[in-house]
């Protein structure tokens, strides 16, 4: 394997959880809900996924438990913001903090417990293609799922009536309600979908990327996924590009440290997050006065009775 192949493989590995989580949050925000608790849902997915996989000996059960944990956290957020019309920013931050704390309790008995990771799926014939075969057609199931998820979300939002209705709820929940659409139900389903994606991204961290549990293993990836949605202007294909861009920055700074580049290691470790901040500042500056996300994003909706 050449150095370039190794770098590309690690970039794909680092980008996959970002892409999965960002796709879920993109759907949530297109429905008009701002959920800042992606980090909490992701870390709960990682904790419950590895716990279930170790206890049952089944990675499939672990993935299912991770998705269920993410959806349970999302349902809690929905109960506060949709049911009680609580402030979405405050509820999302509380969810992130709550998830980080609860995951430490759930994962405590499994710290350092080794477990075999999920293997790769080799696509016949295509995996034999020089260079591209090893990079694109010999990956774990999560990588293929992230690509399918991106295609599916793009098709749903842009090619289906249900996607049009969801986007209408995000642009003007009052108008959508006046047309007879169940805004709260649509947003609730979108929030659950976002939680499932965050939980799946967490499962990737504990079952594939580093097949063991350690507290705080998300390391801010949930916040980067939130930034990717804004970076992508709430468009699925741009979100995919953004996920691989930020994943690439993360991996390149590791290779730079390994190459003994005379730069403080603390700065190199912080580089992906600095790039995220700079990208957001530039994008918001360019978009000033021209609109941005869904018009009703973050606004509570209470139907007339």
What is the per-residue pLDDT for 293?
82
195 pLDDT higher than 90: yes
Tokens representing residue 120 in the block: 């790769």
Judge whether residue 271 has pLDDT over 90.
Answer: no
How large a percentage of the chain has pLDDT more than 90? 63
Residue 50 · residue 207 · CB < 8 Å: yes
- Whole-model pTM above 0.85? yes
Least confident range from 54-63, 238-247, 259-268: namely 259-268
Q: Following CA atoms 166, 170, 173, 177 in sequence, which dihedral angle do they give, to the nearest 10 degrees?
A: 0
| pLDDT at residue 281 in the model | 76
Complete domains list, the chain, with CATH: 3-117+143-286 (1.10.3470)
pLDDT for residue 287: 62
Residue 257 has pLDDT above 70, yes or no: no
Distance (Å, rounded) from C-alpha 303 to C-alpha 182? Answer: 9
């Amino acid at each position: 394997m050449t150095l370039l192949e190794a770098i590309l493989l690690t970039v794909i590995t680092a980008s996959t959880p970002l892409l999965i989580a960002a796709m879920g949050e993109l759907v949530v925000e297109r429905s008009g809900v701002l959920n800042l608790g992606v980090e909490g849902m992701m870390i709960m997915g990682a904790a419950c996924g590895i716990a279930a996989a170790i206890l049952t000996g089944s990675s499939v059960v672990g993935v299912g438990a991770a998705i269920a944990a993410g959806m349970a956290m999302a349902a809690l957020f929905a109960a506060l913001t949709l049911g009680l019309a609580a402030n979405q920013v405050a509820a999302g931050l509380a969810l992130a903090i709550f998830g980080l704390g609860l995951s430490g309790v759930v994962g405590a008995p499994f710290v350092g417990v080794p477990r075999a990771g999920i293997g790769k799926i080799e696509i016949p014939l295509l995996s034999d293609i020089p260079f591209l075969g090893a990079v694109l057609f010999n990956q774990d199931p999560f990588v293929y799922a992230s690509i399918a998820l991106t295609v599916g979300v793009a098709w749903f939002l842009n090619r289906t009536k249900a996607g049009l209705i969801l986007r209408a709820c995000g642009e003007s929940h009052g108008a959508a309600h006046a047309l007879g659409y169940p805004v709260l139900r649509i947003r609730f389903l979108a929030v659950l979908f976002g939680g499932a994606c965050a939980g799946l991204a967490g499962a990737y961290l504990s079952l594939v990327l580093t097949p063991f549990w350690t507290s705080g293993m998300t390391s801010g990836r949930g916040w980067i996924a939130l930034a990717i949605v804004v970076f992508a202007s709430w468009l699925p294909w741009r979100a995919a590009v953004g996920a691989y861009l930020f994943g690439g920055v993360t991996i390149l700074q590791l290779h730079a440290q390994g190459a003994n580049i005379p730069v403080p290691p603390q700065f190199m470790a912080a580089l992906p997050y600095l790039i995220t901040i700079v990208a957001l500042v530039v994008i918001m500056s360019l978009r000033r006065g021209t609109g941005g996300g869904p018009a009703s994003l973050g606004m509570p909706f209470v139907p007339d009775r």
